[in-house]
Structure 1
Amino acid sequence: MPSPHRFANFLTLSRIALVPPFLAFLMSEGGPGPISRTLLVYMVLSDLLDGPVARRSGADNPVGRFLDPLADKLMVGLGYIVLSFKLGLIPSWLTALILWRFVLIRGLWGLVFLTSGMGLGSFLKLGNALTKPNWLGKAAADAQMGLFLVVFFPSLSFLHTAGVYIVAVLTASSGIYYLILSARAVRDTEVLLRPQVRWRCLGRAIHRVSSTVAGLVWGDAHEA
């Protein structure tokens, strides 16, 4: 019998694997249809189950902590893009807001990493501590998933307009909250505040990027 961790990771990986066929059927059916609805129900149920299953062992599951939010972001992010820009079932401005929140937060942390001079391990620990799920972020994620279900099941269509604005408010609020945490981290570590540190770290960032690009180009040249 597989361990709880392995079974939980299997549920999460199966959810990731089903994202491409889910999107393909969603588009081929011209909107929510029987197959895409079935896949969505499975993905939602697996999302609800993988956490409790993993916690049964009482041990840490770093693989699951990485894969679970990745699966959610793939399903919700790509699903919203198709529902908005391909099918017109969700306002495009709402999808843009969700994507803006994700790109802004991750982009800011990438900038902090490049300019702070932190080691990768220290940076990941700081980032994980500050972006640890909180009630506001969880509420935004739950609302986004809830709107998904409203769009897919006509019996819930009366909740559509209210759901759109609830998702918008929670997404924007959680994004602002994480930005405040990021700003405090930058202030507390004095990153980018002192000119001599800023320019020295910017030089390190340029060196990192240029070294990576040069390595890729040089490697490709040798292979050619």
Structure 2
Amino acid sequence: MNLPNKLTIARVVLIPFFVAALLYDGGGSKTMRIVADILFILASLTDLLDGKLARRYNLVTNFGKFMDPLADKLLVCSALICLVELGQAPAWMVIVIISREFIISGFRLVAADNGVVIAASYWGKFKTTFQMIAVALLIANFPALSLAADITLWAALALTLISLADYIAKNYRILTEGGM
């Protein structure tokens, strides 16, 4: 197993530890919130690093193509669900974000069944970046950063919808020609 794939696996392995730290004592422990934020940021950075390494050293694998976006979704969705539980993110917003992930995953499954690989778009990458920044700011839970966290979360929501529209516009033929 190559290094980019190990980093992807590390991201998935970090998720339960991150969730446990974030939800410890109902999210009220400042020390555990810092631990949760550090774990989340480390996991987020593995996303950046594994992709760069895979492309730079020609280490792209089918495992990585499948697991990397899945690991991102697991990390961000876990975090957002925890933030709803802690009253820091509106449930409707998280539902929209998670729904987009299911829709795109469905597109990718249909495409794969037809022998087509749908690569991540720039909109999707921006969306993921803004989601991760918003989550990190919300986890930090610093009053001085609350406006920045809110703005970043709204930007992430907007990019979520833009990237969904972009995927649908570029790939609608997969659904119509895929026998659905």
Query: Do the aligned partners of residues 61 and 149 (structure 1) sit closer, same or farther apart at CA in structure 2, a change above 3 Å counting?
Result: same
Matched, 1:138 2:134: no
SS of the residue corresponding to residue 167 of structure 2 reads helix
Letter in 2 for 1:140: K
Q: What amino acid sits opposite 2:13 in the alignment? A: A
- Return the TM-score normalized by structure 2: 0.83
Higher relative contact order (CA 8 A, sep 6+): 2
Structure 1 residue 173 corresponds to structure 2 residue 173: no
Question: Map of 1:1-224 to 2, 5 A cutoff?
Answer: 6-31=2-27, 33-84=33-84, 86-107=85-106, 113=110, 122-123=113-114, 125-126=115-116, 128=117, 131-153=118-140, 154=142, 156-187=145-176, 189=177, 191=179
Distance 1:39 1:62 in 2: 26
5+ residue gaps in structure 1?
A: 114-119, 193-224
CA radius of gyration, larger in: 1
- Write the distance in 1 (CA, Å) between the matches of 2:107 and 2:63: 24
Contact 2:53 2:59 (C-alpha < 8 Å) held by counterparts: no
Q: 1:30, 1:169 → 2: CA distance?
A: 29
Partner of 1:199: none
- Give the partner amino acid of 1:41: I
Please report how far the alpha carbon of residue 40 of structure 1 lies from its aligned counterpart in structure 2 after TM superposition.
1.5
Distance 1:168 1:6, change over 3 A: same
Identity of aligned residues (%): 30
CA apart distance, 1:42:
1.7
Letter in 2 for 1:80: L
Contact 2:134 2:150 in 1 (8 A): no
Distance 1:179 1:143 in 2: 21
Q: Which amino acid aligns with 2:72?
A: D
Q: Deviations over 1:18-40 (max 9, x none)?
A: 11121112111433613212211
| Number of equivalent positions | 174
Pair 1:69–1:58, CA change in 2 (3 A): same
Provide the rounded CA distance (Å) in 1 between the counterparts of 2:63 and 2:178. Answer: 32
Query: Which sections of structure 2, spanning at least 5 residues, go unmatched?
Result: none
